[in-house]
Amino acid sequence: MFTDKLILRIPGPTPIPPRVQLAMSQPMIGHRSGKFSALFARTAERLKPYFGTTQDVYILAGSGTSALETGVVNTLQPGDEAAVLISGAFGERFAKICERYGVIAHRLEVPWGEAVTPELVEAFLKEKPQVKAVFATYCETSTGVQNPIAELAKTIRTHSDALFIVDAVSCLGAVACEMDAWGVDIVVTGSQKAFMLPTGLAFLAASERAWKVIEANKPLAFYLDLKAYRKSLADQTTPYTPAVSLIFGLAEVLDILDEEGLPAIIKRHELMRDMTRAAMRALNVNLMAEDAYAAATVTSCDPQGAFDAEALRKVLTKQYNITIAGGQQHMKGKIFRIGHMGYCEPLDVLQVISAIEMSLHQIGAPVELGAGVKAAQEVLIAHV
pLDDT tens per residue across span 25-58: 999 999 999 999 999 999 999 999 999 999 999 9
The confidence score (pLDDT) of residue 1 equals: 66
**376 CA to centre of own chain:** 24
- Cβ neighbours of residue 218 under 8 Å, at least 6 residues apart? 77
Identity of the residue numbered 196: M
Output the known binding site for substrate: 337
pLDDT tens per residue across span 115-127: 999 999 999 999 9
Instruction: Please say whether the dihedral angle defined by the alpha carbons of residues 284, 285, 286 and 291, taken in this order, is positive or negative.
Output: negative
Q: Peptide bond preceding 13: is omega within 30 degrees of 0, i.e. cis? A: yes
Strands (E), the chain: 7-9, 57-61, 81-86, 104-109, 133-137, 139-140, 145-146, 163-167, 186-190, 201-206, 286-287, 298-302, 322-326, 336-339
The confidence score (pLDDT) of residue 178 equals: 98
The confidence score (pLDDT) of residue 219 equals: 84
**69 CA to centre of own chain:** 15
Q: Which domains does the chain have, with CATH numbers?
A: 7-13+261-383 (3.90.1150.10), 18-258 (3.40.640.10)
Determine how β-strand 336-339 pairs with β-strand 298-302. Answer: antiparallel
177, 50 contact by CB (below 8 A):
yes
How many residues are there in the chain?
384
Note the maximum CA span of the chain. 62
Output the known binding site: 337
For the entire predicted model, the pTM comes to 0.97
Given a cut of 70, the residues of the chain with pLDDT beneath it are 1
